[in-house]
Amino acid sequence: MKVNPAKYYPLIPVYAIYLIMFLIGKNMTGMWELMAMLAFYCALGQAFNIFLGMTGYVDFGYVAFMGVGTYGMALAITRLVHFKGLGIGLLIIGLCLAMVMSTLLALAVGAVALRLRGAYFAIATIGVNEGFRYLIEGAKIWNGSEGIIFFAQMNEAFGREMASALSTFWADVLVLIIAALAAFVTLHYMRSKIGYALTALREDEDAAKVMGINVTKFKIIAFITSAIFAGLLGAAAWAIKTPYVFPPEVFEIHYTIEAIIIVLLGGAGTLLGPVVGGLIYGLSKYYLAIILPGFQLLIFAPIIIIIIVLFPEGTVGMLKNRVRGTTLERYIV
Amino acid sequence: MALLRLENITKRFGGLVAVDDVSLEIQEGELIAIVGPNGAGKTTLFNVISGVFLPEEGKVFFEDKDITRLPAYKRAPLGLGRTFQIPRPFSSASVRENVAIGAMFGTLADKVSVDESLEIADHYIDLVGLQDHRNKAAGPLTPVEKKLMEIARALAMKPKLLLMDEAMAGMNPKDIDEMVQFLLRLKEEEKMSIIAMVEHIMRAVVGLAERVMVMHQGAKLVDASTTEALTDPKVIEVYLGHSEGD
Ligand SMILES: Nc1ncnc2c1ncn2[C@@H]1O[C@H](COP(=O)(O)OP(=O)(O)O)[C@@H](O)[C@H]1O
Ligand SMILES: [Mg+2]
């Protein structure tokens, strides 16, 4: 199969921004934490966009995939720490487990909820996150409400120094890599039949069916893909970075809300949108907290509403319309 | 073997019988018109054929295969293509992408790549004369352009049977004549069967179809050659009654 490199040009601005973020964080003192936070929001947007942006379906239970991903990593480390010699392989097992667990949850939720349309789907998913949390707490699964604390196991598996480097540096690098991978998969989907099918079903599900598109199948593909990246993100940004997991913290709906805001700010269904949305969101949140501590939400909410009202297609959506017909068109997707 | 065979189709919405015991056969290569005043049940019949609605009674056969309960998305690859009375473009996608979607998931679904689908799309966009709009978003097109786009999209599916719902509504007489010529050419060149549905553009029906089925209040009133059907007293009464009510 021949591959046309021009198809992948739109990754250039995305990866350039991620590289600049990395370089700023690495070389400017005091900037790493901020860059790590921005990387997290970009990755969150990029991952959620594959479902929310490409299908137009809102999943209010999205954070549950990050939650089970966090558990996946925590379980791998706590259960396998005694097998010496796994080394970094332990993290790989953890990431794989995170992917498997988020896939299984996505299959279970998707098989039922994705048969529902639009608003009904959204309502059904609200319960998923809370339900899953109470299941874990009530049935005392994975240590129930006490959660899993695994600082000691991290130290035992990787040594004190490496464990510290993992949590303060490598976890964030991994988040950037996850964002980059999610961007690649997004563009790959856009350029394949999957992307065309998703566009069709997002715009008009009944017409899409009549055109021969198995809408349920393509929704499930987008749902699982998006869930896998959420699982990876939970494993990296929550488990490796802060080696503990408590149900109320990882099944916290406000991350889902943040993900929705980022996708809408940037431009749902665009490739560059989650990056721009993640940066706008992360930077405003960070600086508002410094300038107006305590009042950031009061300022923040209207700003978000204004942007979304002014640019219903998101900032990148608007930009895309501006550059239509120019050479920039090939890079901004 | 008939390409499409409807056996005693009945479709109700609550107490309303939208399609009432309609049977119909279309042979390969045939071009027939279904006419009838607004509300006669034409669109509903199309929706039953393409799988948007399941009928309460009756059966749908396509190439002798019973497709009555087959999901809509499995019918397109068999060779059923359609346009919509109120155009349903994938608004944010370009005209080219819209038409390519037809090629990707129609009868060629397993055989064409994305790039090949885009090439097929270009061919049909040229054929319907939308080349100046190729890369524009489909949402802002005019209603007539949207209709043409839908025809191109349905043709890119390479259907055996093309269902056209009010393809000529809103067109001026010159465009209608052009569309009629276009459909006749399609039938010859692409060896396609066509069911064209029109509300009351008799100009189109006379030039287009050799056979006409007239529907009224959900039921089949007449199924005959065009001249016979349009001079049938029952048909005249339906249409006179209709124009008085306008
Ligand atoms: N989805 C629907 N729900 C309820 N009634 C409908 C629906 N679609 C069509 N109808 C009714 O069915 C009848 C036939 O409509 P339709 O098939 O659109 O007629 P035509 O296309 O011949 O104008 C009308 O009375 C219409 O109001
Ligand atoms: Mg109609």
Q: What is the pLDDT of residue B16?
A: 95
Q: What is the pLDDT along chain A (333 residues), one digit of tens a residue?
A: 566 788 899 999 999 999 999 999 999 999 999 999 999 999 999 999 999 999 999 999 999 999 999 999 999 999 999 888 888 899 999 999 999 999 999 999 999 899 888 889 988 888 888 898 999 999 999 999 999 999 999 999 999 999 999 999 999 999 999 999 999 999 999 999 999 999 999 999 999 999 999 999 999 999 999 999 999 999 999 999 999 999 999 999 889 999 999 999 999 999 999 999 999 999 998 988 888 887 777 877 888 888 878 888 899 988 988 888 788 888 889
- B113-165: pLDDT as tens digits: 999 999 999 999 999 999 999 999 999 999 999 999 999 999 999 999 999 99
**Could you tell me which CATH number the domain at B1-79+159-246 has?**
3.40.50.300
Contacts of A333 in chain B (CB under 8 A): none
Classify each residue of A120-143 as buried b or exposed e, where b means 16 or more C-beta atoms within 10 Å of its C-beta.
Answer: ebbebbeebbeebbeebbeeeebb
Which residue spans of chain B are classified as CATH 3.40.50.300? 1-79+159-246
Give the pLDDT score at B156.
Answer: 97
Q: Nearest Cα to B156, choosing from B189, B201, B108? A: B108
Q: Rounded to whole angstroms, how far apart are CA atoms A328 and B22?
A: 55
- B134 or B235, higher pLDDT: B134
What domains, with CATH codes, occur in chain A?
A: 5-330 (1.10.3470)
Cα B220 from chain centre: 17
Distance CA A267, CA A330 (A): 17
Supply the DSSP symbol for A237: I
Checking DSSP bridges between strand B80-82 and strand B4-13, what pairing results, if any? unpaired
Distance from the alpha carbon of residue B18 to the mean position of ligand 1, in angstroms: 6
pLDDT the model gives residue B201:
63
Inform me whether the C-beta atom of residue B82 falls under 8 Å from chain A C-beta atoms.
Answer: yes
User: Could you report how far apart the first and last alpha carbons of chain B are, in Å?
Assistant: 41
Amino acid code (one letter) for A71: Y
At residue A291, the 3 state secondary structure works out as helix
Chain A interface residues (partner B, CB cutoff 8 A): 191-193, 196-197, 199-200, 202-204, 206-215, 269, 324-325
Phi, psi angles (nearest 5°) of residue B4 = -130, 135
Smallest CA-to-CA distance from A178 within A278, A246, A257 is with: A278
Q: What is the ipTM of this complex?
A: 0.93
For atom 2 of ligand 1, which residue has the closest CA? Answer: B13
Inspect the interface and report whether the beta carbons of B52 and A210 lie closer than 8 Å.
yes
Q: Confidence class of residue B195 from pLDDT cuts 50, 70 and 90?
A: very high
Tell whether pTM > 0.90.
Answer: yes
How close does chain B come to A20, measured CA to CA in Å?
32
The Cα-based distances of A134 to A140, A230, A246 in angstroms read 9, 20, 12
Question: Atom 9 of ligand 1 has which residue's CA nearest to it?
Answer: B44
Q: Is the confidence at residue B245, as pLDDT, over 50?
A: no
* CA distance linking residue A199 with residue A42, whole number of Å: 22
Strands (E), B4-154: 4-13, 16-26, 31-35, 57-62, 65-66, 80-82
Q: Quick check: B24 and B36 in contact, CB under 8 A?
A: no
List CB contacts (< 8 A) between B101 and chain A.
196-197, 199-200, 211, 213
Burial of B206 (0-12, 13-18, 19+ CB in 10 A): middle
Residue A125 vs residues A20, A119, B173: alpha-carbon distances, Å? 36, 10, 52
Rounded Cα gap, residues B219 and B44, in angstroms: 12
What pLDDT sits at residue B244?
42
Q: Which residue has the higher pLDDT, B246 or A243?
A: A243
- Closest-CA distance of chain A to residue B245, Å: 33
- pLDDT of amino acid A295: 78
Q: How many CB atoms lie within 10 A of CB A27?
A: 9
* CA torsion angle B9 B13 B17 B22 (round to 10): -20
Q: Which residues pair with B4 in a beta bridge?
A: B26, B62
Q: How confident is the model at residue B241 (pLDDT cuts 50, 70, 90)?
A: low
CB contact under 8 A, A212 and B105: yes
The answer to whether B104 contacts A196, with C-beta atoms less than 8 Å apart, is yes
* Tokens encoding A318: 């608007």
